[in-house]
């Protein structure tokens, strides 16, 4: 059994180093620390990992204890934020961050939080450490839970606490070859209920609108269903117009071959910082562009928060989430490239 576990640990370290699992498959941009990076956490005693325990019979391999640092999972769009938090509190080197921030994407993260399950593939490669995979995740960092996920938590006897930590914009995307520069909220709803089917109906070319969607449960699909559609059902999309991953949607809208008629949606931070493919244009909505000023003022209609979400009663998670809203925490949020609350 010990030999089997050692092999499993070595494999986990290898997979984490390759960055091949979960959210990392949806990212193609570097998230390295900038040259002007600053340390804002000056007294890092509050949230630290515990001592790692040598794995008996396996030289150089260890099981890591989470200590007072919260175990996290979450949305792809919050991977850089989690990396910045690990830099600030744990002083991890850059080469270890991919393995330590092993996010499984939004629906999987909420499933784990509700089930009291661990994030099982968190590693610190340079130290030969696999973090304790029996420790339930403490915090989901990302978009908010959808109705099904909220109900699942309630059924499990959990009350989810959602602490906003930064702003972003839920945005609509077209290929840069498409001359349309903006849509109204009503036009978007008509497109996704089948009422508008060609770009000429909204000031564009005589081309069919290829309206891409995401699977139910993904963070962007939750925003589309609950915030944009306002109770209207999205027209059932053909399978080729449902993008399993956010990267797939970006590639499809930005592609040279068929992207000219495509319409999709994502989060502005993801489009700007995490995945680039082809040429895209972010549309204005109701005549308003998703600038930081328009997000803070609420002028942009689809302003969203990213949250630190935890189960009520988890006091350590509550302390960490509240720190994220402090001046120091908000400095870290801003340094990671997000729009802080203030």
Helix (H) or strand (E) holding 145: none
Longest distance between any two alpha carbons in the chain, whole Å: 69
Q: What mean pLDDT is predicted for residues 44-58?
A: 90
**Burial profile 60-75: b = 16 or more Cβ within 10 angstroms, e = fewer:** ebbbbebeebbbbbbb
Percent residues over pLDDT 70 in the chain: 92
Q: 299 and 173 in one domain?
A: yes
Which pLDDT value is given to residue 4?
Answer: 41
Confidence of residue 276 (pLDDT cuts 50, 70, 90): confident
Q: 243 and 142 in one domain?
A: no
Q: Which residue would you say has higher pLDDT here, 12 or 24? A: 24
Q: 293 and 235 in one domain?
A: yes
246 inside domain = yes
> Does residue 14 register a pLDDT over 50?
no
185 within 8 A of 286, measured Cβ to Cβ = yes
Q: What mean pLDDT is predicted for residues 87-116?
A: 96
Assigned token pair, 131? 């973090």
279 within 8 A of 254, measured Cβ to Cβ = yes
321 inside domain = yes
> Does residue 17 register a pLDDT over 50?
no
43 within 8 A of 24, measured Cβ to Cβ = no
170 within 8 A of 220, measured Cβ to Cβ = yes
111 inside domain = yes
| CA–CA gap between residue 213 and residue 270 (Å, rounded) | 16
Q: 233 and 127 in one domain?
A: no
Which pLDDT value is given to residue 22?
Answer: 83
Which pLDDT value is given to residue 19?
Answer: 38
Q: 186 and 63 in one domain?
A: no
Task: Supply the pTM of this predicted model.
Answer: 0.89
Q: 270 and 142 in one domain?
A: no
314 inside domain = yes
Could you tell me how many residues make up the chain? 342
Q: Which residue would you say has higher pLDDT here, 62 or 241? A: 62
Can you give the CATH number for the domain in which 319 is found? Answer: 3.40.190.10
| CA–CA gap between residue 146 and residue 107 (Å, rounded) | 9
Which pLDDT value is given to residue 3?
Answer: 45
Q: 198 and 328 in one domain?
A: no
Instruction: Identify the domain containing residue 205 by its residue range.
Output: 168-303
Q: 312 and 221 in one domain?
A: no
Q: 172 and 296 in one domain?
A: yes
15 inside domain = no
Which DSSP state fits 101? -
Q: Residue 142 burial (CB < 10 Å; 0-12/13-18/19+)?
A: buried
DSSP-assigned beta bridge partners for residue 310: 161
Confidence of residue 42 (pLDDT cuts 50, 70, 90): confident
Angle of helix 147-155 versus helix 106-115 axis, rounded to 10:
10
286 inside domain = yes
Which pLDDT value is given to residue 182?
Answer: 98
User: What pLDDT digit, counting tens, does each position of 131-147 carry?
Assistant: 999 999 999 999 999 99
Which DSSP state fits 269? H
Q: Flag the least confident range among 152-166, 211-225, 285-299.
A: 211-225
Q: What mean pLDDT is predicted for residues 197-208?
A: 96
Q: What mean pLDDT is predicted for residues 55-70?
A: 92
Q: What mean pLDDT is predicted for residues 88-106?
A: 95
Q: 141 and 231 in one domain?
A: no
26 inside domain = no
| CA–CA gap between residue 198 and residue 211 (Å, rounded) | 10
Question: What sign does the CA torsion over 119, 270, 311, 64 have?
Answer: positive
Which pLDDT value is given to residue 256?
Answer: 62
Q: 255 and 159 in one domain?
A: no
Q: Which residue would you say has higher pLDDT here, 17 or 74? A: 74
Which pLDDT value is given to residue 258?
Answer: 63
> Does residue 172 register a pLDDT over 60?
yes
> Does residue 10 register a pLDDT over 70?
no
Strand 262-267 vs strand 139-142: parallel, antiparallel, or unpaired? unpaired
User: What pLDDT digit, counting tens, does each position of 183-197 carry?
Assistant: 999 999 999 999 999
Q: 122 and 77 in one domain?
A: yes
Q: How many domains does the chain have?
A: 2
> Does residue 334 register a pLDDT over 90?
yes
37 inside domain = no
User: What pLDDT digit, counting tens, does each position of 223-238 carry?
Assistant: 999 999 988 999 876 6
């Amino acid at each position: 059994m010990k030999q089997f576990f050692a092999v499993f640990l070595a494999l986990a370290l290898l997979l984490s180093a390759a960055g091949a699992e979960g959210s990392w498959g949806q990212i193609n941009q570097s998230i390295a620390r900038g040259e002007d990076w600053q340390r804002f956490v000056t007294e890092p005693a509050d949230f630290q990992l515990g001592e790692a325990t040598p794995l008996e019979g396996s030289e150089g391999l260890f099981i890591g204890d989470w200590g007072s640092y919260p175990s996290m999972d979450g949305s792809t769009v919050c991977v850089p934020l989690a990396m910045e938090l690990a830099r600030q509190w744990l002083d991890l080197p850059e080469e270890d961050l991919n393995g330590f921030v092993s996010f499984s994407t939004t629906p999987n993260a909420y499933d784990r939080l509700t089930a009291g399950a661990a994030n099982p593939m968190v590693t610190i490669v340079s130290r030969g450490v696999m973090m304790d995979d029996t420790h339930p995740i403490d915090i989901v960092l990302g978009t908010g839970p959808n109705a099904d996920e909220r109900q699942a938590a309630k059924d499990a006897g959990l009350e989810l606490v959602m602490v906003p930590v930064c702003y972003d914009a839920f945005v609509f995307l077209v290929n840069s070859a498409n001359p349309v520069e903006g849509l109204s909220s009503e036009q978007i709803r008509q497109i996704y209920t089948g009422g508008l089917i060609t770009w000429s109906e909204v000031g564009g070319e005589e081309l069919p609108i290829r309206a891409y969607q995401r699977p139910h449960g993904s963070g962007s699909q939750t925003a589309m269903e609950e915030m944009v559609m306002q109770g209207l059902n999205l027209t059932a999309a053909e399978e080729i117009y449902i993008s399993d991953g956010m990267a797939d949607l970006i590639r499809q809208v930005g592609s040279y071959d068929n992207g000219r008629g495509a319409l999709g949606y994502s989060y502005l931070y993801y489009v700007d910082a995490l995945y680039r493919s082809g040429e895209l244009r972010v549309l204005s909505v109701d005549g308003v562009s998703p600038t930081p000023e328009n997000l803070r003022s609420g002028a942009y209609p689809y302003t969203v928060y990213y949250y630190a979400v935890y189960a009520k009663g988890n006091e350590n998670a509550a302390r960490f989430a509240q720190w994220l809203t402090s001046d120091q925490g908000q400095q870290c949020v801003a340094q990671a490239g997000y729009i802080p609350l203030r």
